[in-house]
Amino acid sequence: MILPIYLYGQQVLRKEAEEVPKDYPQLKELVANMFETMYHADGVGLAAPQVGLSLRLFVVDGNVMADDFPECKGFKRAMINPSIIKCSEDEILLEEGCLSLPGIHEKVSRPAKIRIKYMDENLVEHEEDIEGFSARIVQHEYEHLEGHIFIDNISAIRKQLNKGKLNNIIKGTTNCSYKTKAVGK
Ligand code: CO
């Protein structure tokens, strides 16, 4: 089932998300719905707050990026209650976008490598080293669980330049190919 994606301005995107309880009802169904919603919107990652649920859970699939970023080949994961336990000191600056911020693309600097602990949709625990664009996708989604959004990381000037677009997103007047929930609509 395709879920509406909550847009910038929605309070749920600003809350620190709660741990997913082990007995969370229909967890697999939620994960399946989040993958379906992400693919429908041509995204490579989607976090639960973006579908209105303040839960520490996100899905990623970097396969469509594999031509440019070979490390993304086969990188499809659901990460439940993740925690980033290590970040490399070296950072990479690359452009990002977000399904909750349609039409906005900005360069963000992030650690090149991370180590992360998480549970998959079967509640099996994993610890994984991730690098390159896959690490970027994971860090972007992880940030959503902390109530942060990627444009929090850009300069005041760049934010100012995006002000008009951000206001349109809040008003709900941005054109979008997928189902959304804007504050103003
Ligand atoms: Co995002």
What string of DSSP letters covers 124-145? -EEEEEEEHHHHHHHHHHHHHH
Residue 111: count of CB within 10 angstroms of its CB = 17
Between strands 57-61 and 45-47, the pairing is: antiparallel
d(CA 27, CA 41): 21
Ligand 1 centroid–CA 102 distance in Å is: 10
The pTM for the full model equals: 0.96
Residue positions annotated with a catalytic role: 141
d(CA 27, CA 175): 31
Task: State the Cα angle at 47 between 15 and 105, rounded to 5°.
Answer: 95
Domains of the chain (ranges plus CATH)?
5-181 (3.90.45.10)
Ligand 1 centroid–CA 22 distance in Å is: 25
Ligand 1 centroid–CA 110 distance in Å is: 14
Amino acid 167: pLDDT: 96
Kindly list the averaged pLDDT for each block of 10 residues, start to end, along the chain of length 185. 98 98 95 98 98 98 96 97 98 96 96 98 97 97 97 93 96 94 89
Ligand 1 centroid–CA 122 distance in Å is: 24
Amino acid 185: pLDDT: 74
d(CA 78, CA 109): 24
